[in-house]
Amino acid sequence: MNRLRQQRGFTLIEVLATMSLLSVVVGATVTLFTGFLRNDRVARLQNESQDQARLGLDTLARELRNLASPKDNEPKAVETASSYNVLFRTVDPVKPNGSTNPRNIKRVRYCLGASSGGRETLWSQQQTWTDPDPPPGVPSMASCPDNAWGNKREIAADVVNRERAIPVFSFVPGPAPLEDIKSIHSELAVDANPGKSPAASTLDSGVFLRNQNRAPLASCTATHAGSNDVVLNGSASEDPEGHPLVTYTWYLGAVNDTATTKQGIVAQWTVPGPGTYSFSLKVKDHGNLTNVSSCEVNVL
């Protein structure tokens, strides 16, 4: 009996209390571990979406840098420009065998699809040809992507631009006229888990359209040269690309192609008599883009 009384151990109540505490600790540990795994998965998905969007913007920028006019020195390489849809011509680096497309130009469309579950997808579609001239019409762009193109490629998923009213594409100085666009800025807001942490990530890119032919800038002066003669000078006119301007056409008053004109960077005009006269200068570049400037002179 004495040996039994000297044995040590835990009572049932102590064992149950210990198990209860252990359960709380294990439960808290499992909860923390589960939360860590969930956060790690969300962060990984967000990083993957960011990487995909970054690669997509790099591809877009590269194609914009290779912008190609319909023909040499012609404008309108950008054919559609809106907040969620842009269409332009670029040079395809891979030329098919037997192609007579001299510079291997293709049409590329980038568009943002409709929202689903609070997220959108940025798509790319392209139109290629092997003839010397491009197809006369652009495939339908009624939807994004549109089956009329016969191809599509996912550029970026988990985009939330439309949901947040953020334009994917913006244009300098503006989306119209198309031939005046100097640069295109692209911005993507990416959120793999909309409405929850972490917050959306924003990626952007901007490209100056170095290959886009832009309208020339006309500038003129008119100087009284004695008697009724006026000397007209348009030498300050310039082409943004640095090419010589093709024509300098002078008009007395407003531009009127049926009226008497003078040609040349510098011209002399004989006016009827004393008074104040207004002249217009219309310049044209190799792409047939024009610009007009006016100037006045007092003939005493």
pTM over 0.95: no
Class of 221-299 in CATH: mainly beta
Residue 169 amino acid letter:
F
CB 187 within 8 A of CB 160: no
Quickly tell me which residue has 């969930």 as its tokens: 38
CA distances 23 to 14, 16, 133, Å, are 14, 10, 76
Apex 180 CA angle, 174 and 182, nearest 5: 75
pLDDT tens-digit readout, 125-182: 999 999 988 888 899 999 999 999 999 999 999 999 998 999 999 999 999 988 888 8
pLDDT at 4 over 70: no
- Could you give the CA distance from residue 273 to residue 204 in angstroms, rounded to a whole number? 61
For 242-261, what is the mean pLDDT?
92
Domain spans of the chain? 44-208, 221-299
Q: What pLDDT sits at residue 3?
A: 53
What is the spatial distance between Cα 202 and Cα 191, in angstroms, rounded to a whole number?
9
More confident residue, 192 or 7: 192
**What percent of the chain stands above pLDDT 70?**
92
| Average pLDDT for the chain | 89
